[in-house]
């Protein structure tokens, strides 16, 4: 068997994933916290003030990465939900459900910081702007997935039902992303571009990109931490889970 295919098969094994995640967690938390500190220092201290918004623009270093993560995590959840529904892979079920609260947290931070930013810029805390409204719908979708998962007693049936809801809700992602192009909204258009020059000073851009990397590391660390706990609960009757529980008890 191809070594890469073999590795993916091994990754789908709960005990193998549990051990691998445990080894990765210190690195992910460390890299995430270091890059977070660098990004915040660069954005809050080193970056120059905006010529229109002055220092008020600095909330971008929390707001924008959170907005990006709200979409990224939902897509991650939906992909794992699709895998769980089609191939019934237990690890994908666990990853999909473990990512939902993290995605909801990033979405809430995005909405809260956007509201704080909107007050001095737009003169109001909230407006039913297309971007804001579709992002709010995204938060409700996260809540729906989490609520449905908790409403069904059988964990595996619950994860599949919630995964189906996540797949239905994925239609909202392009609406969130392209809303500023499709409708006349108060929300500004994209200033950071993957293709072509970004419409932001490079001294302001690099801390934003570092923050984007930091949130990815922090998401991965949070996800693996939650997934390990969920796998132990799901596999509570298995020998490997009992051995882990006994080892943790002895260590305590």
**Contact between residue 46 and residue 89 where contact means Cβ atoms under 8 Å apart:** no
Alpha-carbon Rg for the chain, nearest whole angstrom, is 20
Using the predicted structure, report yes or no on whether residue 196 has a pLDDT greater than 90.
no
In whole angstroms, give the CA distance from residue 250 to residue 252. 5
CB 192 within 8 A of CB 103: no
Mean pLDDT confidence for 179-191: 75
Q: Looking at 3-7, 233-237, 241-245, which range is the least confident one?
A: 3-7
- Mean pLDDT of the residues in the chain: 90
Mean pLDDT, rounded, for 181-201: 72
pLDDT tens readout for residues 73-107: 999 999 999 999 999 889 999 999 999 999 999 99
Per-residue model confidence as pLDDT tens digits over 49-82: 988 888 989 999 999 999 999 999 999 999 999 9
Higher pLDDT, 1 or 126: 126
More confident residue, 100 or 119: 100
Token pair, residue 126, equals: 């909230």
What is the pLDDT at residue 185? 74
Query: How far is C-alpha 244 from the geometric centre of its chain's CA atoms?
Result: 28
Is the pLDDT higher at 130 or at 217? 217
pLDDT value for 76? 98
Q: Give percent of the chain above pLDDT 70.
A: 93
In this predicted structure, what is the pLDDT of residue 26? 98
Confidence (pLDDT) at 8: 66
Q: Which of 65, 124, 61, 96 is nearest to 230 (CA)?
A: 96
């Amino acid at each position: 068997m191809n070594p890469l295919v073999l590795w993916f098969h091994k990754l789908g094994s709960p005990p193998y994933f549990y051990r691998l995640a445990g080894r990765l967690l210190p690195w992910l938390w460390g890299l995430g916290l270091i890059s977070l500190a660098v990004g915040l220092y660069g954005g809050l201290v080193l970056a120059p003030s905006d010529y229109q918004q002055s220092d008020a623009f600095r909330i971008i270093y929390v707001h924008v990465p959170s907005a990006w993560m709200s979409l990224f995590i939902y897509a991650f959840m939906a992909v794992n939900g699709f895998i769980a529904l089609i191939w019934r892979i237990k690890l994908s079920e666990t990853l999909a459900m473990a990512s939902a609260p993290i995605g909801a947290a990033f979405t809430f931070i995005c909405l809260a910081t956007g509201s704080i930013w909107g007050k001095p810029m737009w003169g109001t805390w909230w407006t039913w702007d297309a971007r804001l409204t579709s992002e709010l719908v995204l938060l409700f979708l996260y809540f729906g997935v989490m609520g449905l998962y908790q409403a069904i007693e059988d964990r595996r049936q619950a994860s599949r039902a919630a995964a189906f809801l996540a797949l239905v809700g994925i239609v909202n992602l392009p609406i969130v992303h392209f809303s500023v192009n499709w409708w006349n909204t108060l929300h500004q258009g994209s200033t950071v571009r993957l293709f072509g020059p970004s419409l932001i000073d490079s001294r302001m851009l690099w801390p934003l990109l570092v923050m984007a990397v930091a949130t990815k590391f922090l998401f991965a660390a949070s996800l693996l931490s939650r997934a390990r706990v969920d796998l132990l609960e799901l596999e509570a009757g298995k020998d490997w889970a009992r051995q882990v529980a006994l080892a943790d008890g002895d260590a305590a």
